Structure 1
Amino acid sequence: MIENARAFLKQQGLDQWQTSAYPASTDILADIKNGVGYVLKQDGEIVGYGAVITGVEPAYEQIQGQWLTQNDAYVTVHRLAISDKYRGKALGQQFFTAVFDMFADYGDFRVDTHPDNQIMQHILTTLGFQACGIVIYESERIAFQKVTRDDSQLKNG
């Protein structure tokens, strides 16, 4: 699935996931070992994968811009890939919606994407994420955040 996503990004003219081995099978195995690798299933088949990490993302500490909140307990989604057999069926949105439900007590969700990845940016803005600035994760990325609770309700580090 990761290799198919890498090929799809290349077809879109994006250098995202092209210039390094990221994400490599070792990244996915580490996600699984650390309990942060999640799959989306449909009719018993795995149709999506992503890493869902809670707490501080070191790459997000230095942002050219500003996060909506100054919270240490947030949820970050990395390495989202959807099966090429199911592309175009809003499964990226379904993955994020499941994350919102599973991690609702955090109320603060962050993600980054390639500046030219219009598909992911569309998914994120459709789901109510706001662009907050630029971070360096693999290379320069647009950082997005969605806050579903006010500051007094957010889970704190």
Structure 2
Amino acid sequence: MADYPAMAAIYEHARRIMRENGNPTQWGHEFPRESVVLDDIANGRTMLLVDRPEGEQAGMDCDDPSAETDSETDGETLPFGMLATGERILAQFALCPGIDPTYVSIEGSWLDDDPYVTIHRIAASGLGPHAARDCLEWALAHYGNVRADTHPNNKAMQHVLETGGFARCGLIQLIDRPKDTTRIAYHRHEW
């Protein structure tokens, strides 16, 4: 839970980047909601891709020029993406095991019906290259059968998924939103 302020700042950064790149509605101004992210943390679904910058020691400030700050620990404000451990969050996502209710109905077809994990709410901090790709590769190495989805306007994530070997399987409809519900479904299974 101590990592939440840094994560919230990264989600805000991701929303801004989406808006600036022609995708203003996928996450809007509020998604993912605080309650959802806190629930992910409490239930062990949150995954953080972190590093410790070379030459940095725990607690030292990161010298990133884009140092937006919002993360606090014991009254100390930390640079954007920095944790109190001295590590930087390069990316974060929710890793959800089991059947995803949104994926039960698809216009198209999944690669198989084997057990899978779903990646949701992936966001890169911009502090390191290829962070989203590295998250996908980690999930594949540890779970083998991975599904994800993204908004039709999220060209960056489509590129990451497709160059990462994920197959475009069709369209799904989100069941937790009243509008803008269509998402492109992706799947990769390491046989």
Shorter-chain TM band: 0.7 to 0.9
Kindly tell me the number of residue pairs found equivalent between the two proteins.
Answer: 142
1:14-25 alignment, distance < 5 Å? 14=23, 15-18=25-28, 21-25=30-34
The structural deviation recorded for 1:70 is 1.8
Gaps of 5+ in 1: 150-157
Using the size of structure 2 for normalisation, the TM-score is: 0.71
Q: CA RMSD in A?
A: 1.3
Deviations 1:111-152 (A, max 9, x none): 000112111111111111000010112510000000111xxx
Answering whether residue 11 of structure 2 is matched by residue 2 of structure 1, we say: yes
1:3-152 alignment, distance < 5 Å? 3-14=12-23, 15-18=25-28, 21-43=30-52, 44-71=87-114, 73-86=115-128, 89-103=129-143, 107-137=144-174, 138=177, 139-149=181-191
Using the size of structure 1 for normalisation, the TM-score is: 0.86
Distance, in Å, in 1 between the alignment partners of 2:12 and 2:36 is 13
Gaps of 5+ in 2: 1-9, 53-86
Greater RCO (Cα-Cα under 8 Å, separation 6 or more)? 1
The structure number with the bigger radius of gyration is 2
SS at match of 2:99: coil
Distance, in Å, in 2 between the alignment partners of 1:130 and 1:75 is 15
User: Which one has the bigger helix percentage?
Assistant: 1
Sequence identity (%): 34
Paired letter, 1:29: L
Following TM superposition, the consecutive aligned residue runs of length 4 or more in structure 1 with deviations greater than 3 angstroms are: none
